[in-house]
Amino acid sequence: MSKSEECMLLMDEREKTTFSLEEMTHLLDGGKYKTDLRQSIEKVILSDPRMKPEDISCMSPQQQHNHGVKRMIYFYTDLAKKMSWDFTDSRCPELEFLPRTVGMATSLMLHASAFIPSVAQLGTKEQVAKWYTLGKEYFILGCYAQTELGHGTNLRELETTATFDQKRQEFVLHSPKLTSMKWWPGELGKGANHALVMAQLIIQGKSYGMHAFLVQIRDLTSHRPMPGVTVGSIGSLMSMGGSDNGYLSFKSVRIPKANMLARYAEVSADGTYIKKGDTKLMHASMVNLRVLMTKGEAVLGLEKACTIAARYSCVRRQGSLQPSKPEIQVIEYVTQQHKIISQIATAYAMHFTIQHVQAIYNQFLQDLDKGKVGNLTELHFVTAGVKASMTEQSVEGIETVRRACGGHGFAHSSGLPALLQRAIPSCTYEGDNTVMYLFCARHLLRCAQKVFMGQPLEGSVKYLSAEIQNKCRANKKEDFINPNILLACLQHKAQAMLLETATYMQYIASKGMNQMDVWNISSVQLVNVVKAHMLQYIFSTFLDFINETYCSPPIRDVLLKLCALYGIYNINNNATNLLKDGYLNGEQCTLMERVEVDLLQDLRKNVVGLVDSFDFRDEILNSCLGAYDGNVYERLFENAKNSPMNKDEVHEETYKYLKPHLHKGRDILKKMSKL
Amino acid sequence: MSKSEECMLLMDEREKTTFSLEEMTHLLDGGKYKTDLRQSIEKVILSDPRMKPEDISCMSPQQQHNHGVKRMIYFYTDLAKKMSWDFTDSRCPELEFLPRTVGMATSLMLHASAFIPSVAQLGTKEQVAKWYTLGKEYFILGCYAQTELGHGTNLRELETTATFDQKRQEFVLHSPKLTSMKWWPGELGKGANHALVMAQLIIQGKSYGMHAFLVQIRDLTSHRPMPGVTVGSIGSLMSMGGSDNGYLSFKSVRIPKANMLARYAEVSADGTYIKKGDTKLMHASMVNLRVLMTKGEAVLGLEKACTIAARYSCVRRQGSLQPSKPEIQVIEYVTQQHKIISQIATAYAMHFTIQHVQAIYNQFLQDLDKGKVGNLTELHFVTAGVKASMTEQSVEGIETVRRACGGHGFAHSSGLPALLQRAIPSCTYEGDNTVMYLFCARHLLRCAQKVFMGQPLEGSVKYLSAEIQNKCRANKKEDFINPNILLACLQHKAQAMLLETATYMQYIASKGMNQMDVWNISSVQLVNVVKAHMLQYIFSTFLDFINETYCSPPIRDVLLKLCALYGIYNINNNATNLLKDGYLNGEQCTLMERVEVDLLQDLRKNVVGLVDSFDFRDEILNSCLGAYDGNVYERLFENAKNSPMNKDEVHEETYKYLKPHLHKGRDILKKMSKL
């Protein structure tokens, strides 16, 4: 490709960067050795022609699925094996960089990230020895079957039953109603031959709640459903990527007694139910999936989208601020800076926070290996809140920067639609965000009770028990770039909202309203409380990282500005609760609006450096707008020319409907020209 | 289908409705005769088997396009002709209900709604007689080619040239650079054989700006590109619906002089440029497209989404507020009410407002027929603001209620993904929303100047010149259901924000900052000013409608509550600017949060009645979740079973990649069982 004017513009932008890209990339990856590891993985995967993704945007969902399976079965059973990467082990060092390189929502991913770890988590040693090995080698293909057609989040109400038949020492799996049909499991529709089925355990007419059962659902030779099994695809979904979601129901399907996963509970031959070990740990593997997914779909998605939009905004010219002057780069417009740079700040804040959360989880696992069970409540609270807050911010961010790319942001060749479509479901799966927020709210309300009783708090909620400040003490523009001032604002907001809501709930309860109604009519506020709490959590984690990490002054400077921008952006977005109790006054709000613009204009020179630091190779971005060289228009045209939609000059399939009318037109025009 | 438990729940909901559905439907349609007209159109279209849409979600973009052309060519050239519906005439009474019945983003729509009206608008009588007739009968298929690969909103910078060749009395169309390639026009990619090309008119080396030229781009017999013409599809886009967007460039393509559309300007035989008539009217037909699209994609989209989500929320049971009680309808949760009912209120507010705007436009046209040119500035201002504000609110609303449907909201069979995907582009096309907001901001700043000079304002901005109120006088919960109190809040907010921003801009300009920088650093605030102005415009238009229309007391009651909810929802969303200057105090904000919950709980009983009143037939909603009878789960399962993805029990195309591994697994398992 030629060195177009656009390429020159990006080269000029790179000249402006004030910090070392290499240093920033190492910080983002978590150290130089991690950057090296990542780059070596990327090299292996991206240089393998069989891993090259085709343009799935022109395919039907079925074709997308075929393409995904072909690519990923090669990856897991051949390439990864050759490289000795074991992705079924959550401690595999390469796993961290896998979503970045091959994408998250890929075929067969859930076999490795949900089915296998669940077997490992819930099975006895013998069960794991058998099934884990079969699964790891892709000799069986499994899915995790929990959600039902009529039941999502509320697991206790799942209707599928597994009834113990003592005489035959078997369990009988059964779906009593249409609503009890398993619905959604990934890999189930057309691929899986085994399912880990969550079902109500019933022994002699008594229910013992949810347990996990391994059920063979398809014949291993013919791939047809086993007797009594109904299975199929649930049809096409909004998100692309060839996922294979399915439905599954049972008509008295028998499995051997040995197929109940029995690490935490088992049924003896005589039908006695025996509890073993701490069932609280049962769901720890789900925490990992939640964090992995938040990072892979939400945070990485926003980073990629920012990379694309920032580079494009520097090469796109449109309009001018001064008449008769040539058109300017659209990044010069403050409205564009507000869209792009605020989201880059969000991406950085979330990046370092999710890395911190991953470290907490890894610490938890290491402690567990030593027999020490860490603070599971805090782990669930933090991961649920982070998941809900980050997926929401990420989807909003991706869509914001996508829209900032104008019409070209709609083209699949921009790479942006795929990022949006992959991020959107993350607000729902692995725990609907509203449910996650309300789960966190219960914890925060318990914290509020402790605050009222003067008890101290620890961990991520410690600030809530600090003495409440009445007024923000900042009064100059410079004050509002001070991260401690901003942290105090964000913490005050969450604290004040929580205590106000908790006080009101106590008040109406004291007036005789029942607890359930009190909870219900406060729930919208409670969701907002958790959102405010999470913003301060992300901000303070980012700030802690900057303060606790050695970095050169230019890096520290730009990170502090990003951190300040993230804080101010969110305060300015909605300062209602800071004004309500007089913590901020009107002049302070106005000052903050101006500081925000100052920060945007200051960070503008680093806009390309900041996204270059994410170090996404062109093959990963897969974007005509966001490629490293900035050669946007040539790429767009090349891509369009090569689109399957241009394979034939005349689309006979379409033209045949138009032809009779157009030939009439031809004849009329001919006659006209003869007149 | 059976009368499931879910059906019974919806029947119970309908019992609760407090008002006459028929009366509400007539109000929404604009009178009983319009309801009759709409229903008769729907009957004709929906009962025609050739108009039945297939499940396009399982198709590739090419297949979607083929399907769309097949369906719509039949519609326009056969069915509509039989019924004497002329959709190329913007005054055709049936046109109003077309988007509702066949969908907006349909193949060939832009030929009728952009190409034909532009020819009619820009051509001389002779030109219209020739081309309009050919187009109307689909004897030629045209597209409107304006946007270029490197140029969007800023029309003056378009690079395509049309150079007058006096000797041959022709124009030579040419694309001097890659960035000047026409990019985006709908119907262009594979279908159109004529294009209305916007190009720089050049006579003897001098440029006369943008003019419209009719160019034949494909041969009428072979459908192949004409000599010198490069044309093709720009590839797949985020939105579904089989649109056919294309690229087009010219290498010295000659057209007769008569093909310059010459109603407003022409070139004489000797090369003299002659201006004729009022060119301001040139873009009036684009105003119509903007309004039509806002209604068709944004407002109708939100209404459909609300219908689906409201019905589903009444039949979906999940969790319970009291332990040991059966699961409750999710609509009982206030968080769910907040998502669904606030959006129903938004849909109603936007519905009556866009109807009002359409009436303004129609009045403008009627005046024009009588030779009177109405207030074009106000028309552009109102339609640009309404377009930006409503498309944005609509996309947010559709996504909010889609997420409120949990996992099932991702399935194409819910009907929700298609609504979202069709609404999202509306924020960009027909004028990017940020550009629209800033266009309106320029007008509002001129209004602010008048306010500073004590001059009165008229029309939609009249309230800005009213005396500024210092404090909101409400102090009881009931006060905040009073729409006049809420209108005063919304107007104060917009007025205060505008005057504060304008004052600041004057101040920094007086300190020596150049006008362009003043504008640029204020632009984020200016966008917010316009958003605030538009919220009060929509609220006040809705309120005026209620006050000026005869309706029965139960209808009036529910409409006033919807209006109040729309106001409170938006005030509570962000009260920053009402608190900043002390117009509201903290207690008032807290009261409003409580009033919002009261209103939600009050309107909850009418939730199904309110969406039933939109009167969308099942064939139009095309949703398993939102069908009238509420039989959600049977429909979902039926739909999945019939999905093309379940055509074959074993997907050979996918299975072939898995087979070698799974057969190994089979052999290992066999060996194991023998041990």
Q: How many CB atoms lie within 10 A of CB B543?
A: 22
Q: Which residues from chain A sit within 8 angstroms of residue B237, using beta carbons?
A: 410-412, 417
Shortest Cα–Cα distance, A671 to chain B (Å): 12
Give the Å distances, CA to CA, from A469 to A298, A445, A449, A575.
34, 20, 19, 16
Q: A130 contacts in B (CB within 8 Å)?
A: 672
> Can you tell me the mean pLDDT for A587-615?
97
Instruction: Please state, in angstroms and rounded to a whole number, the distance separating the CA atoms of residues A641 and B223.
Output: 18
Q: Which residue of B has its CA nearest to A181?
A: B637
Mark yes or no for CB contact B640/A403 under 8 Å.
no
Among A69, A338, A579, beta carbon nearest to B657: A69
Instruction: Classify B273 as helix, strand or coil.
Output: strand
Asked whether A590 and A480 are in contact (CB, 8 A), the reply is no
What is the structure's pLDDT at A651?
87
| Token pair of B319 as six digits | 């969790």
Report the pLDDT value the prediction gives residue B58, as an integer from 0 to 100. Answer: 83
CB contact under 8 A, A516 and B321: yes
> What does the pLDDT read at residue B542?
98
How do the residues of chain B divide into helix, strand and coil, expressed in percent and rounded to 5? Answer: 60, 10, 30
Question: Which pLDDT does position B336 carry in this prediction?
Answer: 98
> What single letter denotes the amino acid at residue A601?
Q
Helix axes B586-603, A515-548, angle to 10 degrees: 130
Q: Do A139 and B525 touch (CB under 8 A)?
A: no
Three-state secondary structure string covering B438-482: HHHHHHHHHHHHHHHCCCCCCHHHHHHHCCCCCCCCCCCHHHHHC
Question: What is the bridge-based pairing of β-strands A253-256 and A273-275?
Answer: unpaired
Q: Hey, are the CB atoms on B333 and A523 less than 8 Å from each other?
A: yes
Rounded to 5 degrees, what angle do the CA atoms A495, B596, A441 make? 35
Quick: pLDDT tens for A103-158: 755 788 889 888 998 998 899 999 999 998 899 889 999 999 999 999 887 778 89
Is CATH 2.40.110.10 what the domain over A142-277 is classified as, yes or no?
yes
pLDDT at A241: 65
- Taking phi first (over 0 means left), then psi (-120 to 50 degrees means alpha), and beta for anything else, what does residue B324 get? left
**Residue A48 scores a pLDDT above 60:** yes
Terminal-residue alpha carbon distance, chain A: 50
Residue of B nearest to A587 (CA): B580
* pLDDT tier for residue A240 given thresholds of 50, 70 and 90: low
Confidence tier at B227 by pLDDT (50, 70, 90): very high
Cβ B654–A403 below 8 Å, yes or no?
Answer: no
Closest by CA to A188, choosing from B654, B416, B624, B633, is: B654
How many angstroms separate the CA atoms of B596 and B612, rounded? Answer: 23
In the three-class reduction of DSSP (H, G, I as helix; E, B as strand; rest coil), residue A211 is classed as: strand
Which tokens belong to B247? 């690229």
- The mean-pLDDT minimum among A270-279, A430-439, B184-193 falls in A270-279
> Residue B142 is encoded by which pair of tokens?
């045209």
B669 contact residues in A (CB cutoff 8 A): 134, 140, 220
Q: Please give the pLDDT value at position B522.
A: 98
Cα dihedral A531/A535/A538/A540 (nearest 10): -130
> A485-505: per-residue pLDDT in tens?
999 999 999 999 999 999 999
How does residue A4 score in pLDDT terms, banded at 50, 70 and 90? confident
pLDDT digits (tens, 9 = 90+) for A202-230: 999 999 999 999 999 999 999 999 999 99
The reply to whether residue B236 touches residue A645, judged by beta carbons under 8 angstroms, is: yes
Give the lowest-confidence range in A341-345, A357-361, B604-608. A357-361
* Residue contact B434–A597, C-beta within 8 A: no
Q: Are A261 and A214 in contact (CB under 8 A)?
A: yes
Which chain A residues contact residue B333 at CB under 8 A? 520, 523
B98 pLDDT above the threshold of 90: no
**DSSP string spanning A588-625?**
HHHHHHHHHHHHHHHHGGGHHHHHHTT---HHHH--TT
Q: Which of A194, A217, A234 best probes binding to B when mutated, by most B CB atoms within 10 angstroms?
A: A234
DSSP tag of A130: I
Query: Which of A141, A184, A232 is closest, CB to CB, to B662?
Result: A141
Angle at B517 between CA B516 and CA B519, to 5 degrees: 65
- Enumerate the β-bridge partners of residue A266: A274
Average pLDDT over residues B502-530: 97
Mean pLDDT on B475-486: 95
pLDDT given at position A397: 98
What are the angstrom distances between the C-alpha of B154 and each of A328, B588, B669? 11, 45, 68
Q: A151: nearest CA in chain B? A: B318
**Residue B197 C-alpha, separation from nearest chain A C-alpha, in angstroms:** 19
Q: Which residue among A236, A421, A653 places its CB closest to the CB of B645?
A: A236
Q: From the CA of B16, how many Å to the nearest CA of chain A?
A: 21
| Neighbouring C-beta atoms of residue B648, cutoff 10 Å | 12
Inform me whether the pLDDT recorded for B1 exceeds 60.
Answer: no
Q: Is the pLDDT of residue B241 over 70?
A: no
The Cα of B203 is separated from the nearest Cα of chain A by a number of Å equal to 21
- The SS3 of residue A424 is helix
Residue from the list A157, A333, A409 with its beta carbon closest to the beta carbon of B520:
A333
CB within 8 Å: B58 and A63: no
Nearest CA of chain B to the CA of A13: how many Å? 20
Mean pLDDT in chain B? 93
Q: What is d(CA A580, CA B471) in angstroms, rounded to the nearest whole number?
A: 15
Mean pLDDT of A394-412: 96
**pLDDT at residue A25 in the model:** 98
b (16+ CB within 10 A) / e for B270-285: eeeeeeeeeeeebebb
Report the percentage of chain B scoring pLDDT > 90: 75
Superfamily holding B433-456+479-603? Butyryl-CoA Dehydrogenase, subunit A, domain 3 (1.20.140.10)
Section B138-155 average pLDDT:
90
Contact A139 B662 (CB under 8 A): yes
pLDDT digits (tens, 9 = 90+) for A9-26: 999 999 999 999 999 999
Closest residue in chain B to residue A664, using alpha carbons only: B139
Say whether A524 and B597 touch across the interface (CB within 8 A).
Answer: yes
- pLDDT per position as a tens digit, A620-644: 999 999 999 999 999 999 999 999 8
- Taking the C-alpha atoms of residue A64 and residue A105, their distance in angstroms, rounded to an integer, is 12
Q: What pLDDT band is residue B20 in, cutting at 50, 70 and 90?
A: very high
Helices and strands (H and E) in chain A: how many:
25, 11
- Indicate the domain borders of chain B: 142-277, 433-456+479-603
The pLDDT-based confidence of A1 (bands split at 50, 70, 90) is low
Contact B62 A65 (CB under 8 A): no
Q: Is A500 a catalytic residue?
A: no
Do A433-456+479-603 and A142-277 fall under one CATH topology? Answer: no
Whether residue A40 has pLDDT greater than 70: yes
Helices (H) and strands (E) in chain B, counts: 25, 11
pLDDT at A339: 98
Outline where DSSP puts E strands in A61-205. 142-145, 161-165, 170-174, 182-183, 194-203
Nearest to B188 by CA among B166, B209, B161, B217: B217
Coil, helix or strand for B164? strand
The identity of residue B76, as a single letter, is Y
CB contact under 8 A, A420 and B238: yes
Confidence of residue B288 (pLDDT cuts 50, 70, 90): confident
Asked if the model's pLDDT at residue A278 lies above 90, the reply is no
pLDDT surpasses 90 at B170: yes
Give B23-64 pLDDT, tens digit per residue.
999 999 999 999 999 999 999 999 999 988 788 888 888 888
Q: What is the pLDDT of residue B240?
A: 62
Catalytic member of A148, A159, A297, A430? A430
In the numeric block, which tokens belong to residue B10?
A: 């919806």
Given a cut of 80, whether residue A188 has pLDDT beyond it is: yes
**What does the pLDDT read at residue A319?**
85
Q: What is the pLDDT of residues B352-392, one digit of tens each?
A: 999 999 999 989 988 888 888 888 899 999 999 999 999 99
Which among A120, A98, A122 is positioned nearest to A108, based on CA atoms? A98
pLDDT > 70: what percent of chain B? Answer: 98
Nearest to A58 by CA among B191, B240, B105, B656: B240
Position A65 scores a pLDDT of 87
* Mutation target among B322, B598, B637 for the A interface, most CBs of A within 10 A: B637
Q: Which residue from A minimizes the CA distance to B325?
A: A157
Chain B partners within 8 Å of A432 (Cβ): 403, 406
Closest alpha carbon within chain B to A437: B335
pLDDT at A113: 83
The pLDDT of A256-267, averaged and rounded, is 95
Amino acid identity of residue B480, one-letter, is F
Q: Which residues contact B667 (CB under 8 A, 6 or more apart)?
A: none
Angle, to 10 degrees, between the axis of helix A334-369 and the axis of helix A553-573? Answer: 110
Residue B394 has pLDDT above 80, yes or no: yes
User: Rounded to a whole number, what is the distance in Å from the CA of A325 to chain B's nearest CA?
Assistant: 11
Residues of B in contact with A439 (CB under 8 A): none
Give the contacts of B503 (CB within 8 A, at least 6 positions apart). Answer: none
The single residue of B6, B42, B148, B430 carrying the catalytic annotation is B430
Residue A569 tokens read as 């952006």
A509 phi/psi in degrees, rounded to 5: -65, -40
Which of B154, B236, B659 minimises the CB distance to A319? Answer: B154
CB pairs under 8 A between A and B: 398
Helix, strand, or coil here: A171?
strand
Give the type of residue at A14: R
Q: Cα distance from A320 to chain B (closest Cα, Å)? A: 9
Given a cut of 70, is residue B304 above it in pLDDT?
yes
Q: Chain A residues with CB inside 8 Å of B225's CB?
A: 649
- Please tell me the predicted confidence (pLDDT) of residue A528: 98
Q: Do A338 and B524 touch (CB under 8 A)?
A: yes
How close B339 gets to chain A, by Cα (Å)?
A: 10
